[in-house]
């Protein structure tokens, strides 16, 4: 039997984040807002957004600017902060389960309107299967590596669905309540203010995290359209602008598709004879390696991977003539609690758009996806420290958004 008490507690100390810098934050607010008072803690079962220090097993579960909600767990006195995308999935899990169970009873019950205990049990099982299939946020390898605890107080397993485990325990969630002001590490226990509930010990106890109900913020605009990039003639490598989600397509100056064989690592490439075009390629991070010299007129086409842990506004850049097109657009959020343009769950409006400039990069660290760390060249204002301030991918636009979660009551 599992409880929320601190049974079998071991002092598994986690090192201080990046040499006692404290919990990093980056500024998304550009005007005063309203921060409600209270003790708000991250839920202990959240999946990792990104590692803070892989060597010490430290991960962030909430990032500044992300849209938040509260869970409602009868085992806890207060609701805990969770990403709004996860809150929607928990709600979807419950509604799908109820609907699927009712449909099963209607279709299978022989004694219409008076199902037996076995039929009810079968209907409940059918509902759980349907509800679990309907949700998509899962624990990953990082969660296993760091020993993240799921809502059932078991160890998180890669592929397990976060909302399904929470929903099966009767945990529900509110609608979106605001945006996170600070980053938060994994909570060390079910109640970070009560060490008796801890199942690990950490420098940052996942203490109270404030959020904003209304204000004025700015976030980078990430354009989701397929990218086509020219590759330099005579080179044997090409550094693409963004990370790839899916396959790469190569074309000649025809442009006809060029079929190349993909190898796992560059050392497996078989060199071609001098003067012949490449026949094989390998990708590491954002660099494509070829087994020959790139001819004139070759291009590479790819879908960018935009699952950044940083808060951003995702748009289809192919529809943007210029920044004015964004002004006045209503803002909602997606499954990753990032901002999106939409008509449902609206909480803000774009009032201003500024062009991304080189000087924007003076206050940022670049996210190095390859190692789950922040190891590329630091911004000049960070003194080489491992702090997160903003997304350093030189966005074309930065949107400034007026938001208000007090609407609609």
For the chain, the domains span: 13-207, 230-302, 306-404
In a 13 Å sphere around the CA of 137, the CA atoms on its Cβ side amount to: 29
Residues 6+ apart with CB under 8 A from 391: 220, 222, 308, 310, 312, 364, 367
Neighbours of 108 (CB within 10 A): 12
CA neighbor of 151 nearest in space, from 127, 187, 180: 187
Joined together, the tokens standing for residue 255 give 């442009």
Spell out the residues 6+ positions from residue 343 whose beta carbon is closer than 8 angstroms to its own.
330, 332
Q: What is the pLDDT of residue 171?
A: 96
Which residue stretches of 135-187 are H helix?
Answer: 141-146, 162-168
Contact 131, 60 (CB under 8 A): no
pLDDT digits (tens, 9 = 90+) for 194-222: 777 887 765 555 456 788 899 888 888 88
Residue at token pair 């939409």: 342
Query: Would you state the pLDDT for residue 161?
Result: 97
What's the token pair of residue 12? 């598994």
- pLDDT of 370 reads 41
Residues 167-194 pLDDT 10s: 999 999 999 999 988 788 888 888 777 7
- Between helix 84-108 and helix 117-134 the angle, nearest 10°, is 140
The DSSP result for 356-370, as a single string, is --GGGGGG-B--BGG
* Rounded-to-integer distance, Cα 179 and Cα 35, Å: 10
Element (H, E) at 92: helix 84-108
Q: In the prediction, which pLDDT does 391 show?
A: 44
The secondary structure of 309-368 as a DSSP string is SS--EEE-GGG-SSGGGGTT-EEEE-TTS-EEE-SSS--EEEEEEEE--GGGGGG-B--B
Name 308's Cβ contacts closer than 8 Å, sequence gap at least 6: 222, 367, 391
What letter would DSSP give residue 273? P
Q: What is the pLDDT of residue 71?
A: 96
> How many Å apart are CA 235 and CA 281, to the nearest integer?
13
Euclidean distance between CA atoms 289 and 36, whole angstroms: 52
Q: Tell how far CA 173 is from the center of its chain.
A: 19
The answer, as to whether pTM is greater than 0.85, is no
Rounded mean pLDDT for each run of 10 residues along the chain, 409 residues in total = 47 46 52 77 90 72 90 85 96 96 83 78 94 96 89 94 96 94 82 77 61 87 89 94 88 92 95 94 92 96 80 86 90 90 91 76 47 41 39 68 83
- CB-CB neighbours of 291 under 10 Å: 21
């Amino acid at each position: 039997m599992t409880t929320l008490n601190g049974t079998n507690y071991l002092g598994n100390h986690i090192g201080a984040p990046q040499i006692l810098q404290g919990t990093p934050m980056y500024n998304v607010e550009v005007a005063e807002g309203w921060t409600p008072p209270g003790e708000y803690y991250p839920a202990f079962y959240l999946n990792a957004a990104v590692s803070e220090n892989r060597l010490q097993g430290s991960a962030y579960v909430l990032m500044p600017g992300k849209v938040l909600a509260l869970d409602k767990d009868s085992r806890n006195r207060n609701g805990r902060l969770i990403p709004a995308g996860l809150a929607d999935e928990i709600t979807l899990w419950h509604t799908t389960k109820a609907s699927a169970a009712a449909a099963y009873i209607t279709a299978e019950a022989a004694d219409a309107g008076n199902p037996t205990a076995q039929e009810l049990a079968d209907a409940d099982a059918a509902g759980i299967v349907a509800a679990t299939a309907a949700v998509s946020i899962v624990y990953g390898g990082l969660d296993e590596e760091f020993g993240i605890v799921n809502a059932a107080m078991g160890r998180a397993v890669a592929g397990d669905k976060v909302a399904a485990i929470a929903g099966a325990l009767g945990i529900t969630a509110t609608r979106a309540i605001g945006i996170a002001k600070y980053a938060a590490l994994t909570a060390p226990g079910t109640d970070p203010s009560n060490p008796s509930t801890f199942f690990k010990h950490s420098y940052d106890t996942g203490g109270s995290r404030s959020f904003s109900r209304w204000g004025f913020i700015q976030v980078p605009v990430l354009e989701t359209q397929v990218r086509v990039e020219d590759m330099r003639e005579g080179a044997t490598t090409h550094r693409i602008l963004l990370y790839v989600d899916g396959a790469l397509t190569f074309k000649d100056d025809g442009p006809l598709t060029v079929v190349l064989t993909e190898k796992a690592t560059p050392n497996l490439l078989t060199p071609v004879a001098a003067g012949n075009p490449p026949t094989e390629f390998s990708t590491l991070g954002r660099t494509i390696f070829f087994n020959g010299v790139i001819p004139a007129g070759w291009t590479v086409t790819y879908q960018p991977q935009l699952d950044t842990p940083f808060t951003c506004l995702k748009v289809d850049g192919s529809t943007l003539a210029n920044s004015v097109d964004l002004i006045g657009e209503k803002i909602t959020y997606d499954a990753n609690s990032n901002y999106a343009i939409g008509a449902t769950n609206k909480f803000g409006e774009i009032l201003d758009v500024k062009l991304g400039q080189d000087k924007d990069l003076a206050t940022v660290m670049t996210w190095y996806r390859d190692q789950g760390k922040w190891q590329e060249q630091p911004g000049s204002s960070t003194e080489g420290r491992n702090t997160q301030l903003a997304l350093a991918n030189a966005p074309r636009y930065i949107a400034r958004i007026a938001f208000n979660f007090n609407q609609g009551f």
